[in-house]
Amino acid sequence: MKKQFTLFIFLALLSISALGQLRTSIKIGVFPIDFTDIPADMRSQWPTKSQWSSILFDGVIKQYFDTISYNNCVITGDVFDYTTSNLQFWDPTTGKVKTETEVLETLDINAPGYNPDNYDYVIFLVGHDARLGGSRSYIWSYKVNGVQYAKPGVVAFFEIGRYNRNPSYRVENSTIERNSYLLPITTTTPPTTEEDYVKQPLSNFDQTFSHELIHSLGIGAHANSRTNNGKPDYEPEDTDPSNEGNWNNEYGNLYDIMGGSGGYGSSLNGYFRHHIGFMNDDMLNIIDTYTTQTVTAYPLNSKSGKRLIAVYHPAYPTQWPGIFKNDGYTLEVRTAGTFDPMLSHDLLKENLEGLFVMKNSGLQNLLLDMSPSPNVIYDWGSFYDIRDVVLKPGMIYENSDVKFSDVIKNADGSFTVTIQVKKPEAPTANFSASETSISAGQSITFSDLSTNRPTSWSWSFAGGTPATSTKKNPVVTYTTVGTYDVSLTTTNDGGSNTKTIAGYITVNAPITPIADFSASETTIPLGQSITFTDLSSNYPTSWSWSFVDGTPETSTEQNPVITYYTTGTHAVTLTAANAGGSDTKTTENYITVIEPTDYCSEESASCFYEWISKVEVGSFINTSNATKYSDFTNQTINLNANQDVTIRLTPDFSSDSYDEYFNVWIDYNKNKAFEPSELVFSSSGASTVTGTFTVANVAVNTRMRVVMNYSDVAKACGTFDYGEVEDYSVNISIPPVANFSASATSIITGQSVTFTDLSTNTPTTWAWSFTGGTPATSTAQNPAVTYTTAGTYSVSLTATNSAGSDIKTITGYITAADPVIVPVANFSASATSITTGQSVTFTDLSTNTPTSWSWSFTGGTPATSTAQNPAVTYTTAGTYSVSLTATNSAGGDTKTITGYITVADPVVIPIANFSASATSITTGQSVTFTDLSTNSPTSWSWSFTGGIPATSALQNPVVTYSTAGTYNVSLTATNVAGNNTKTTTGYITVSSTNAVPNNHEVEDNIEISPNPSNSVIYLKGIKGNSIVKVFSLSGQIMDCKFNSKEKTIDVSCFTKGLYIIQINVGNKIVTKRFMVD
């Protein structure tokens, strides 16, 4: 039922609780408002605070409410001081003025002492010289003294000035200067033409204001409907979607206080008075059956008796069950004393006095058909469109529903009338169809055309789905080829009637659709939605959509709504099908999604019935009143990353409560789009809904959107029917990660260091600790600290925000040294003698704390270095110098060591080898052994079998043999790389002195070489006339060829062994031994 309410019908519910009770007082809070862009000379003409109080509570308006309430209801109130808005009310470049809502949303009214509980209604008097007068009643959301409220009331615009600055509101072709709303408020001569309104611009302020205040009291409807443009009085939404389920409430009697203009008359019928509490149940005479009765009605201002006759016709159920009874008629007696003082036109007075008849549906007055009663004739003069019937004595009014006759005016001013409530005539069934020839799978809308107001319908559809219906205007689908009958039986209290049309509907075989579609938009910002419309021909019955990067990505709806959360261009595909086949259309790059420049807008169409009254997120609480959209981004909700947060959302209602759907998004990635992944809470209920959500692990200042929707789960963008939208700012914090740097980490005593906080995730407090520093602690973000004592010191920082804290300590971070002295360069090496390819580590031994080093390495790699303790490799044998220059801020010093590093080629394992001075000797003789080993042995180990000594460590030892025999000699040659051994078996032969001639003398100046030999031996030191003989060890003379000239002996024919050579030189004999190998 809620969707069928119009704006004014909404307000009618406000005073339902007052039915049957008399209203005794109305108290109003009044807030005059002006703007800074008003010229001062114009503002000076506006009513003062006291003048407004007189206009509203001491003049015609008060008299009017006194009259219509029979002096039972007192209207009072308080006028507060003017509040000046900084809003530019009128834009001269566009001619546009601000709406009532725009004015109130930007205004904080200054009204000391204001208490909303002291007032029934609020009035906002909005003044500007660029706005023609007007007014509107509603439940307004407004702010007073910084507090948000919501209350029913009126916004009334007034305009004062000597000229009109806004061309949009000018009266064209008028020769009279327009002063708009100029005091005095009321005039003695009511206007009758538009020019009269120009001359006396405030003459209708009292009526206009009273009209809107009555709306606020609970009268949502206007006085009469005119012609309804040929439409029925009411069409429910399910039978006439184009009418949106509302009354055809075009304004009727323009001269009634609740007419369209509020211009001349300002009567208020008793039916309305009863609804707003100016009349109670004891004043009603009710007829609600088919009957004929004679009843009496007293004038509205009478103190006793029935003052209102209410005919609730049994044939016409109301569209407002539970709120109003059946539709019908009301009758009341109107005399001059029942109108307010504003009514002064004699012609109106004369014609409007009598027994007034009005046709009603709820509080909506409907058109009365005058034609059935030709004796009801009035001379309305220049006034038109007054369609209520005024019965005077002797008059009769009759139509198909009722008959009013035997009208008598009694002496006490009452009227007696006979009322017949008629049963309706039986309906005559009739209908039409939106189409009579269709393809299988199509639907047809059937429309009831029956006369005499049927109250029920019974349809039969052969071959259709549904096959039967009781709706007035049903929709039926036909899926099978054929020709079908349609039948309708209509019924009311007068009877029933049936109409059947044989073969009315022809269903043809379907034709393959041709797929086609359109989009409501093709370029949108990220996060917004597009409505796709099927334009396929040949009546498809199913649809298969594909939306690249859309949400959802597929759909089977005919006209889906798709949201895009990915920027770029996107294809759309539609396959349309029916029983005849299918067709596909794809449009590449059809949809372009761009980065948004701002958040999408969303609001409800109405917050009258429900709104968000409280939002609680963690410790954050905000209460608010009825507004379609509230921008609370000036309020920040502080949250911590990964925090589990409790959320509570509370709705409020103007009357009954309803199930509400809540959605909450947080724009975590701050891309100005509320994505599905950013929906943090969803719930529904008719009271407070509670839940929890986990905050994302992100540090961001962003926006949160809260949506409350009456009928369905709302999206983050767009509009919806009932509810409210609120936006908030959200600050999400992550615990800091402590970090810092220093302006210097090595200083001399007495200097200061500035520490810089480098902590991430926005810490809000800092706690530093400085060992050895002054101060020793600090809470500054970037403190400066002085060190007066030499040493190495640690620094610690604890960074904290609302999400937590973190600590970082660097041990030995700051080094404070005494003042600097020029270094004395010095160094050492890990080795000074190496082999090629080896490395040497040089160690700086410089004193007085150098801070830089410059090395030079002749023959080294690298040849230079700035490291304090470099490592250098030498690849070439040689002797090399090393130089170091040690420097600090005081200066530098150089030390050079010449020939510091000796590099030799690598050592190889020796190959042992040796020779002997003689290998054949006689007992008692000695042999000198010579080391012939290669690869530079460094030690020798000899073994001499039969010799003295038997062993030796000399490189070239001398050994004596005293016993005849053949002996082995062994040599082991060793160096750092290893050792090698050579043994020569039977190498030394020692003979007895008897074996060879012994008449000789031994001379040592004769040398044999080579010895041993296997070819030629040379005799050095003999004379040319010497006689040479060679003996074997057995004493045999060997055949030898001595070349006296060359002094050689050919021994190549000798067998291996030891031989003795005898040399006769004069009278001397020299004996030598040699070896043939």
Q: What pLDDT digit, counting tens, does each position of 383-442 carry?
A: 333 445 678 888 888 888 899 999 999 999 899 999 999 998 899 999 999 999 998 888
pLDDT at 686 > cutoff 80:
yes
Confidence of residue 91 (pLDDT cuts 50, 70, 90): low
123, 167, 712, 713 from 34: Cα distances, Å: 14, 20, 40, 40
Q: What are the DSSP E strand ranges found in 482-580? A: 482-492, 495-508, 517-519, 523-525, 529-534, 542-547, 550-551, 554-555, 561-564, 568-578
pLDDT digits 0-9 by tens, 883-938 = 999 999 889 999 999 999 999 888 889 999 999 999 998 887 888 899 999 998 99
d(CA 445, CA 432): 9
Contact between residue 255 and residue 342 where contact means Cβ atoms under 8 Å apart: no
Domain-located, residue 822: no
CB 962 within 8 A of CB 923: yes
Domain of residue 532, CATH code: 2.60.40.10
Rounded to the nearest angstrom, the gap between the alpha carbon of residue 351 and the centroid of all alpha carbons in its chain is 67
Q: Residues 192-212: what's their mean pLDDT? A: 52
The total number of residues shown for the chain amounts to 1077
Nearest Cα residue to 811 out of 790, 795, 788: 795
- Phi and psi torsions of 935, nearest 5°: 65, 30
**146 and 55, same structural domain?**
yes
Whether the predicted pLDDT of 16 surpasses 50: no
In tens, the pLDDT along 1001-1057 reads 444 578 888 988 888 888 888 776 777 888 777 667 787 777 777 788 888 888 888
Angle, vertex CA 557, rays to CA 552 and CA 558, nearest 5: 130
Of 157, 189, 217, the residue at which a domain comes to its end is 217
For residue range 381-390, list pLDDT tens digits in order.
333 334 456 7
Helical segments of 17-79, H only? 40-43, 49-57, 60-68
Please give the Cα distance from 78 to 122 (Å, whole number).
Answer: 10
**Residue 136: closest CA among 112, 104, 162:** 104
Per-residue confidence at 125, pLDDT binned at 50, 70, 90? confident
804 contacts: CB under 8 Å, gap ≥ 6: 640, 735, 736
Question: 394 and 279: one domain?
Answer: yes
- What's CA 1012's distance to the chain center, in Å? 105
* Residue 283: other Cβ atoms inside 10 A: 22
78 membership: H or E segment, kind and range: strand 74-79
Rounded (10°) CA dihedral 1062, 1063, 1069, 1075: -40
Mean pLDDT of the chain: 81
What letter would DSSP give residue 247? B
- Structure-block tokens of residue 72: 């039972």
Q: Which of 234-238, 613-617, 821-825 has the lowest mean pLDDT?
A: 234-238
Residues 1050, 1014: Cα–Cα separation, whole Å: 9
What pLDDT sits at residue 1047?
84
Same domain, 982 and 1000: no
- The band of 679, judged by pLDDT with boundaries at 50, 70 and 90, is very high
Q: Dump pLDDT digits (tens) for 757-779.
A: 999 988 999 999 999 999 999 99
Residue 224 lies in a domain: no
Q: What is the DSSP letter of 15?
A: G
Longest dimension (CA), the chain: 208
Residue 940 to residue 933: CA distance in whole angstroms: 10
Does residue 735 sit within a domain?
A: no
Give residue 191's pLDDT.
42
Residue 334 is part of which domain span? 229-421
Structure-token pair, residue 486: 């349609």
Query: Tell me, what amino acid is at 390?
Result: V
What are the tokens at 1062?
């005898």
Classify 456 as helix, strand or coil.
Answer: strand
Q: Quickly count: other Cβ atoms within 10 Å of residue 779's Cβ.
A: 10
Report the C-alpha gap between 418 and 408 in whole angstroms: 9
Question: Of 685, 687, 686, 723, which Cα lies nearest the Cα of 705?
Answer: 723
Reference 25, options 72, 58, 85, 94; nearest CA is 72
H or E segment and range at residue 108: strand 108-109
pLDDT exceeds 90 at position 307: no
Q: State which of 191-205, 264-278, 506-520 shows the largest mean pLDDT.
A: 506-520
**What is the predicted pLDDT for the residue at 1013?**
87
Query: Any residues with CB less than 8 A from the CB of 28 and at least 6 apart, and which?
Result: 56, 75, 76, 77, 78, 119, 120, 121, 122, 123, 153
Per the CB < 8 A criterion, the answer to whether 9 and 101 are in contact is: no
Question: Is 717 in the same domain as 751?
Answer: no
Which of 43-47, 670-674, 957-961 shows the lowest per-residue confidence on average (mean pLDDT)? 43-47
pLDDT at 319: 63
Sequential DSSP letters for 146-178: TEEEEEEEEEEEE-B-SS---GGG--TT--SPP
**Structure pTM?**
0.49
Distances (CA, A) of 862 to 431, 838, 1022: 109, 13, 63
* Residue 222 domain flag: no
Dist. CA 149–CA 52, nearest whole Å: 23
Helix (H) or strand (E) holding 647: strand 644-653
Between CA 939 and CA 437 the distance in angstroms is 126
Q: What is the CATH number of the domain that holds 657?
A: 2.60.40
User: How, if at all, do strands 581-594 and 523-525 pair?
Assistant: parallel
Domain boundary residue, one of 488, 508, 528? 508
- Dihedral of the CA atoms 761, 766, 771, 774 (nearest 10)? 130
Q: Are residues 770 and 899 in the same domain?
A: no
Asked whether residue 223 is assigned to any structural domain, the reply reads no
Q: Is residue 483 part of a domain?
A: yes
Q: Is 909 a domain residue?
A: no
- What is the rounded radius of gyration, in angstroms, for the C-alpha atoms of the chain? 61
For residues 233 and 207, state if they share a domain: no
Query: What pLDDT shows up at residue 10?
Result: 34
User: SS3 for 197?
Assistant: helix
In this structure, the answer to whether residues 243 and 115 fall within a common structural domain is no
Task: Give pLDDT, residue 356.
Answer: 78
The answer to whether 628 and 608 are in contact (CB under 8 A) is: no
pLDDT for res 926? 83
User: In 3D, which of 741, 763, 766, 764 has the Cα closest to residue 754?
Assistant: 741
**Whole-Å CA distances, 26 to 210, 217, 948:** 13, 9, 150
Of the three residues 548, 576, 594, the one that is the final residue of a domain is: 594
At position 29, the amino acid (one-letter code) is G
Greater model confidence, 274 or 91 = 274
pLDDT at 1034: 64
Please state the domain count of the chain.
9
Is residue 823 predicted with pLDDT exceeding 70? yes
Same domain, 243 and 356: yes
> For the segment 350-361, what is each residue's pLDDT rounded down to a tens digit?
556 778 787 776
- Residues 796, 843 within the same domain: no
**Residue 249 and residue 189 share a domain:** no
- Say whether pLDDT at 513 is over 60: yes
Do the Cβ atoms of 791 and 831 come closer than 8 Å? no
- Judge if 316 and 360 occupy the same domain: yes
Give CA 779 to chain center in angstroms.
35
- pLDDT class of 337 with cuts at 50, 70, 90: low
Element (H, E) at 798: strand 791-801
941 within domain boundaries: yes
Q: Is the pLDDT score of 549 beyond 80? A: yes
Residue 387, C-beta contacts closer than 8 angstroms, at least 6 positions apart: 224, 226, 252, 253, 367, 368, 370
**Cβ-Cβ contacts under 8 Å for 1027 (sequence gap 6 or more):** 1063, 1064
Residue 995 DSSP label: G
Among residues 668, 666, 707, 665, the alpha carbon closest in space to that of 684 is found at 707
Cα 12 to Cα 137: distance, rounded to the nearest angstrom = 11
Tokens of 151: 């209350």
Residue 618 is encoded by which pair of tokens?
Answer: 């963690």
Examine the pLDDT at 505 and tell me if it is beyond 50.
Answer: yes
Q: Parallel, antiparallel, or unpaired: how do β-strands 581-594 and 700-709 relate?
A: unpaired
pLDDT digits (tens, 9 = 90+) for 557-609: 999 999 999 999 999 999 999 988 999 999 999 999 999 999 988 888 888 78
Terminal-residue alpha carbon distance, the chain? 137
91 and 194 both lie in a single domain: yes
In angstroms, the CA 436 to CA 881 distance is: 116
Q: How far apart are CA 847 and CA 824, in angstroms?
A: 5
Give the H or E element holding residue 242. none
